[in-house]
Structure 1
Amino acid sequence: MTAGDTGAPLSVVLAGGGSAGHVNPLLATADALRRRVPDATISVLGTAEGLEQRLVPDRGYPLTVVPKVPFPRRPGAAAVRFPGSLGRAVGAALAAIRAVDADVVVGFGGYVATPAYLAARRAGVPIVIHEQNARPGLANRLGSRFTRAVATTFASTALPGAKRVGMPLRAEIRDLDRAAARPEGLTHFGLAADRPTLLVFGGSLGAARLNAAFSAAAADLLAAGVQVLHLTGAGKDVDAPQTSATGARYVALPYTDRMELAYAVADLAVCRAGAGTVCELAAVGLPAVYVPLPIGNGEQRLNAADLVAAGGGLVAEDAQVDAGWVRGTVLPLVTDADRLATMAAAAAAHGERDADDQLVDLILAAAGRA
Structure 2
Amino acid sequence: MASLLLAGGGTAGHVNPLLATAAVLRGRGHEVAAIGTPGGLEADLVPRAGLDLVEIDKVPFPRRPDADALRFPLRLRRAVAACVRAIDERGADAVVGFGGYVSTPAYLAARRRGLPIVVHEANARPGIANKLGARLTEHVAVTFPDTPLRHAAVTGLPLRAQIEELAATLADPAAAADASRASRAARVWGEDVPVLLAFGGSLGAASLNAALADGIGDLVARGVHVIHLTGRGKAEGALAARAALPEADRHRYEVEEYAHDMASLFAAADAVVCRSGAATVCEIGALGLPALYVPLPHGNGEQALNARAAVEAGAATLVPDADLSGARLVAEVEPLLIDADARARMRAAARGIGIADGADRLATMIEGVL
Task: Determine if the TM-score, normalized by the shorter chain, exceeds 0.5.
Answer: yes
Match of 2:144 among 154, 163, 166: 154
Q: 1:226 — aligned with what?
A: 224
More helix by share: 2
State the alpha-carbon separation in 1 of the partners of residues 141 and 332 from structure 2: 36
Shift in Å, 1:191: 5.7
Q: Report the identity percentage.
A: 52
Q: How many residues align?
A: 357
Partner of 1:6: none
Distance apart, 1:361 and its partner CA:
1.0
Q: State the distance in 1 between where 2:335 and 2:309 align.
A: 24
Shift of 1:185: 2.7
Partner of 1:5: none
Structure 1 Cα separation of the partners of residues 191 and 161 of structure 2: 25
Number of the residue aligned with 2:161:
171
Matched, 1:280 2:270: no
RMSD over aligned Cα, in angstroms? 1.6
Task: Provide structure 2 residue ranges, at least 5 long, that are not aligned to the other structure.
Answer: 171-175
Please list, as runs of the form range in 1=range in 2, the aligned pairs for 1:159-308 lying within 5 A after superposition: 159-176=149-166, 177-178=169-170, 179=176, 180-186=178-184, 189=187, 192-237=190-235, 238-239=238-239, 240-241=241-242, 244=246, 245-246=248-249, 249-308=252-311
Long gaps (5+) in structure 1: 1-8
CA positional deviation for 1:28: 0.8
**2:60 equivalent in structure 1:** 70
CA contact (8 A) 2:290 2:336 kept: no
Measured in 2, the distance between the counterparts of 1:272 and 1:104 equals 34
Distance 2:88 2:321 in 1: 47
2:227 aligns to what SS in structure 1?
strand
Task: Name 1:25's counterpart in structure 2.
Answer: 17
> Does residue 345 of structure 1 match 2:348?
yes
Q: Report the counterpart of residue 331 of structure 1 in structure 2.
A: 334
Counterpart residue identity of residue 242, structure 2: P
- The structure 2 residue matched to 1:366, chosen from 354, 363, 369, is 369
Contact 2:194 2:270 in 1 (8 A): yes
Instruction: Tell which deviates more after alignment, 238-247 or 326-335.
Output: 238-247
Moved segments of 4+, more than 4 Å: 187-193
Deviation at 1:266, TM superposition (A): 0.6
Structure 1 residues 187, 144: closer, same or farther in 2, change over 3 A? same
Residue 83 of structure 1: which of 56, 73, 84 is its match? 73
Question: Which of 18, 27, 35 lines up with 2:27 in the alignment?
Answer: 35
Q: Among residues 80, 83, 106, which one is paired with 2:96 in the alignment?
A: 106
- State the TM-score, normalized to the length of structure 2: 0.92
SS of 1:128's equivalent in the other structure is strand
Whichever residue aligns with residue 357 of structure 2, its letter is D
Query: 3-state DSSP class of the match of 1:69?
Result: coil
Are the aligned partners of 1:184 and 1:261 in contact in 2 as well (CA < 8 Å)?
no
Q: Deviations over 1:277-319 (max 9, x none)?
A: 1111111100100001101111111111011101100010101
- What is aligned with 2:173? none
Q: Distance in 1 between matches of 2:326 and 2:152?
A: 42
Note the C-alpha offset of 1:200: 0.3
CA drift of 1:126 comes to 1.1
Does residue 1:140 correspond to 2:139, yes or no?
no
Greater shift, 69-78 or 107-116, is seen at 69-78
- Whether the 8 Å CA contact 1:226–1:248 is kept in 2: the answer is no
When residues 94 and 185 of structure 1 are mapped into structure 2, their CA distance, relative to the original with a 3 A threshold, is farther
Separation in structure 1 between the aligned mates of residue 66 and residue 211 of structure 2, nearest angstrom: 41
The residue matched to 1:144 in structure 2 has which SS? helix
Equivalent in 53, 77, 86 of residue 96 of structure 1: 86
Q: Under a length normalisation based on structure 1, what TM-score does the superposition of the two structures give?
A: 0.92
Cα deviation for residue 183 of structure 1 reads 3.8
Q: Note the C-alpha offset of 1:163.
A: 0.8
Paired residue for 1:126? 116
Over 3 Å counting, the alpha-carbon distance change for 1:332 and 1:344 in structure 2 is closer
